[in-house]
Amino acid sequence: MRSSVENMKPVFVRPKSLSDKKFTYCPGCHHGLITRILAQVIDELGIQERTVMVAPVGCAVFAYEWFRCDGVQAAHGRAAAVATGIKRVRPDLVVISYQGDGDLAAIGLAETIHAANRGEKISVIFVNNQIYGMTGGQMAPTTLVGQHATSCPEGRNPQEAGYPIRMAELLATLEAPVYVARLALFDPKHVLETTKAVRKALTYQVQGKGYSFVEILANCPTGWRMSPVQANKHIAAVVTKAFPLGEFVDKG
């Protein structure tokens, strides 16, 4: 069995901006993939030494430790406010807020909308997996109609629980944001497109252009009771119907 990489050139190596820590995520979870994409873009833009990662409460609570960048852990839902505080006093830093759907679209909705509306020069990475993963699979503001969760065991009933919130479309109604997009990760092509969107978002921040928001449709194999491969197929077939992919704002 050939295992030597001598005489070969690297096609894909671990980004330098990633720390050595092993992710605490479940097998197949897209959080790890998004973390890798961020680290790769940080490497490409050469901003590792001036990036600050703002981690949420939720499955990504350790997000500040995955990077070889300064990091801060915010209270549940408050990441955009914390990012605002950092960026306003240190505009030279690249401030990235990494948040899940419960954090960003439920408890932190006010902070999310107002940071966007002020045009804070930060980048928000929104991981939309339609469920509260860390707490065991409860209904999220983004849970699909009919989707089962531990706090809606019969499936989300829109008569009682309303409909999934489309954050990208909602923020796209505001004047200030310079970039608002929704991406997915269910196959290599979409992984590359997500990478491109993250690159654009961080580039706009580096250029001082303004607020950027990248919503990423992510899986939660554990919470959805699916295998990782099934979960990815579910995103392609079902989730993208409720959350259309695309760039909603691009003022770059």
CA distances in angstroms from 30 to 24, 36, 234, listed in the order given = 12, 10, 13
Check: CB of residue 137 under 8 Å from CB of residue 105.
no
Site for another protein in 67-86 (CB under 8 A): 67-75, 78, 81-86
Kindly tell me which residue out of 43, 44, 45, 114 binds another protein, with binding defined by CB under 8 A: 114
Q: Does 229 bind another protein (CB under 8 A)?
A: yes
Q: Which residue is associated with the tokens 């901003």?
A: 47
Nearest to 135 by CA among 223, 225, 36, 226: 223
Q: Does 63 bind another protein (CB under 8 A)?
A: no
Stretch that binds another protein, among 46-54, 132-140, 199-207, 240-248 (CB under 8 A): 46-54
Check: CB of residue 220 under 8 Å from CB of residue 150.
no
Q: Does 241 bind another protein (CB under 8 A)?
A: no
Q: 96: which strand partners?
A: 53, 123
Determine how β-strand 212-217 pairs with β-strand 179-184: parallel
Q: Does 194 bind another protein (CB under 8 A)?
A: no
Total residues contacting another protein by CB under 8 A comes to 76
Site for another protein in 148-187 (CB under 8 A): 185, 187
Nearer to another protein, 16 or 145 (CB): 16
C-alpha 57 chain-centroid distance: 13
Q: Does 196 bind another protein (CB under 8 A)?
A: no
Kindly tell me which residue out of 42, 93, 106, 171 binds another protein, with binding defined by CB under 8 A: 93
Least distance CB 145 / another protein (angstroms): 27
Q: Does 106 bind another protein (CB under 8 A)?
A: no
Determine how β-strand 246-250 pairs with β-strand 179-184: antiparallel
Q: Does 237 bind another protein (CB under 8 A)?
A: no
Stretch that binds another protein, among 13-21, 135-143, 164-172, 200-208 (CB under 8 A): 13-21
Contacts of 129 (CB under 8 A, 6+ apart): 30, 100, 101, 140, 142, 217, 218, 219, 220, 223
Least distance CB 2 / another protein (angstroms): 5
Kindly tell me which residue out of 43, 49, 147, 210 binds another protein, with binding defined by CB under 8 A: 49
Check: CB of residue 220 under 8 Å from CB of residue 133.
yes
Check: CB of residue 172 under 8 Å from CB of residue 161.
no
Least distance CB 163 / another protein (angstroms): 24
Site for another protein in 124-143 (CB under 8 A): none
